[in-house]
Structure 1
């Protein structure tokens, strides 16, 4: 499989990787076809798992390579990585204030962004998971961009490990949209369509990230750290609180640790 992907143009590698992650979002959304009842513990556990994967990916796949790359530059290694990390968090924080969205499990009264009350619940839930997927897509695009630029700290296997890890945690993200909508009375088909639609932004943001680092190679360390900061913001501001607000804290925490461990294994074993 790696040999096949190696033979492709780098931009097609990015597209294939993010079509996979989008497909995994659809797989998670398709869980509405397998159950008649909404299981809150199941959703909270899956959200915790997703948070663990994102935290592990932020360090093993993004921050660690960024520091290695920055060590070959003239500036202190910590400087561009720190700046990029903080800028990534600030970027998603800005979008969070503007984009109308609703966290999974939250009532409509807790919708955020500009004029959220003018939107349907289904739209707000999709936009919330779309907010998750922006940094995930950027991370994949930047990782493949680093490989395309020939960075010694980047490898195709590592970029694929990141895509696989994000794909795995996209399963609960798709379910986090479709299952609450099914509970709210939407049909299974509509719940699935809204759930899988949230993954569409990943290929778009991945291509943007890939093109950015391909044309401006010196920003690679900053770009990797930017994606890491964006993901950490999403995890701490939304994923972890959503996984614990229904009282399933121990389950959510253990699921987070499991997700972190699996992503760490993937990155170390493949990267």
Structure 2
């Protein structure tokens, strides 16, 4: 993405373009299923750990830290809006988890969460990943919306860095969806279709997030921390447990450290 080309586009358009990029990387990751029927479990766990590290770093450097700065600049008690938004984000996703039928990777069908349904296993798996991609799209959307509000702590380069980091971690996420589906008997193309489909929700969430905070800039500290809380929920609820479930904790932990360091580097260097 060329930053200069984005400057003359509305924040909603910027967020949409940025999350089309993140979706494309999801599709590229899912495309690995066209060449491989399986993936080494140690590699998969390291990839999941990497995604977790990126999301943890993005939650603080790109979302919570700007929210705290914005709260202080507007005369509010600095920690109140971020605290409220962060907890609301986590509880919102918990509510969605309890309501929407879905199934985590590696779990048997009788462990499906949410309301009871007759949906097939593949649909439940994709629903889980799709549900947990919403915070990523929302995070990118509110980051670009914050730039449009001309707040000192929000920069276009920082928003682009966030989108780039999330896009990179979407690559292993796409593979983590499509390859297990292939292993369970779906065709290569159907596994690819479901894998990339999980990333399509991100542009929708980004447009909603950017539009909301652009229209009501007073929501920004709450919106940024809401996205952070939702992303941390995904990390703790899904990514880390799945990465640690096969006994490859060293690989998962190193992946997390590398992912965190890369996102921190991107945000500090570009933001």
Match of 1:128?
A: 128
What value does the CA root-mean-square deviation take over the aligned residues? 1.0
Match of 1:38?
A: 39
Q: Does 1:267 align with 2:259?
A: no
Shift of 1:36: 3.5
Q: Distance in 2 between matches of 1:59 and 1:38?
A: 31
Write the mapping of 1:88-237 to structure 2, written as runs, cut at 5 A: 88-116=89-117, 118-237=118-237
Shift of 1:40: 1.8
Deviations 1:120-139 (A, max 9, x none): 11111111111221100110
Is 2:37–2:183's contact at 8 Å kept on the other side of the alignment?
Answer: no
Which portions of structure 1, spanning 4 or more consecutive aligned residues, are displaced by more than 6 angstroms?
none
Match of 1:70?
A: 71
**SS state of the match for residue 66, structure 2?**
helix
Match of 2:86?
A: 85
Deviations 1:58-84 (A, max 9, x none): 000000001111101232010111001
Is 1:38–1:183's contact at 8 Å kept on the other side of the alignment?
Answer: no
Q: Distance in 2 between matches of 1:161 and 1:25?
A: 17
Unmatched 5+ stretches in structure 2: none
Give the TM-score taking structure 1 as reference length. Answer: 0.97
**SS state of the match for residue 12, structure 2?**
helix
Is 2:27–2:171's contact at 8 Å kept on the other side of the alignment?
Answer: yes
**Count of aligned residue pairs for this structure pair:** 270
**SS state of the match for residue 73, structure 2?**
coil
Q: Distance in 2 between matches of 1:192 and 1:169?
A: 17
Give the TM-score taking structure 2 as reference length. Answer: 0.97
Q: Distance in 2 between matches of 1:198 and 1:73?
A: 37
Shift of 1:10: 2.1
**SS state of the match for residue 138, structure 1?**
helix
Shift of 1:265: 0.4
Q: Distance in 2 between matches of 1:52 and 1:20?
A: 20
